[in-house]
Amino acid sequence: MIRNSDIEKALEKLTGGEDFFVVDIQNKKGKITVFIDNYKGIKLDDCVRINQDLRDLFESELEEYDLEVTSPGLSAPFKVYQQYEKNLGRKVEVLLKTGQKIEGKLLDLDNEGITVEEKKRVKTNKKKKTTVRKEHRISFDEMEYTKTIISF
């Protein structure tokens, strides 16, 4: 049986010098799904190449598995620290464990949590609105999830 830690070590070796990082590995019922990302953005060719490299490396151990190497997807919640790094400066949605949602620009990141700048339009009187900016310091423990807001 192939272990997730073996796959992760192999990926580090195979992508060593490149900006790839492992987001998640799901290993169940004869199927291994490896979610990878890159600071520059993941391409289909990258997934195909890494899939083939893993097959070459593990050869007979992977014969009994369906192996898929893919990206986590644009709207998937962040799972690893590198995803926060990659998205600094971008607009994110943070759902707190209290149920409160905060949308704003991901300004800062450290080992404890993130800082998000939220902009809201509020009425100052009957006809005028002004933009109010508020920075939220959010620890990782307070978050249910964080994900990128995609706008076209």
Residue 90 domain-assigned? yes
The predicted model gives 122-131 an average pLDDT of 84
Instruction: From residue 39, give the alpha-carbon distance in Å to each of 5, 22, 72.
Output: 22, 12, 13
Q: Which domain holds residue 63?
A: 4-70
My answer on whether 86 and 140 are in the same domain is: yes
pLDDT at 17: 66
Residue 33 lies in a domain: yes
Asked if residue 90 and residue 35 are part of one domain, the reply reads: no
Residue 38 domain flag: yes
List the CATH number of the domain containing 141: 2.30.30.100
Based on the fold, state whether residues 48 and 95 are members of the same structural domain. no
63 burial level (CB within 10 Å; 0-12, 13-18, 19+):
exposed
Structural domains in the chain (count): 2
- Are 64 and 96 in a shared domain? no
Same domain as 136, residue 94: yes
Note the pLDDT tens digit of each residue in 28-81: 888 999 999 998 888 999 999 999 999 998 888 888 889 999 999 888 999 999
